[in-house]
Amino acid sequence: MLKNFSDLKVNGYDIIKLGYKGKRIGEVLDYLLDLVIDDKIKNERDSLMAMALNYRTLNIKKIINSYQYFVIYDFVSYELQKS
């Protein structure tokens, strides 16, 4: 049973090689650990590295969705102020 980052088949240096820096390294490792604990992926280097790359895409989608929400909110607020 996995308990912490050191049980993963990847480490912080692997995540750095993918271009992550600072606190993102720990966030990615935490994300990978959760996936393995929840049996969503196996604790295999190739799978973990692929999901680490996928983490960046997931964050970009979250940012885009948040931005879209605020654009819609601002538009609705503006329209309500006009009426």
How far apart (Å, rounded) are the C-alpha atoms in residues 17 and 11?
10
CB 28 within 8 A of CB 34: no
How far apart (Å, rounded) are the C-alpha atoms in residues 62 and 77?
22
Degrees, nearest 5: CA angle 8-15-19: 170
Q: Is the pTM of this model over 0.75?
A: no
Q: pLDDT digits over 2-39, tens only? A: 788 889 999 999 999 999 999 999 999 999 999 999 99
Higher pLDDT, 8 or 76: 8
Least Cα distance to 20 among 31, 34, 9 occurs for 31
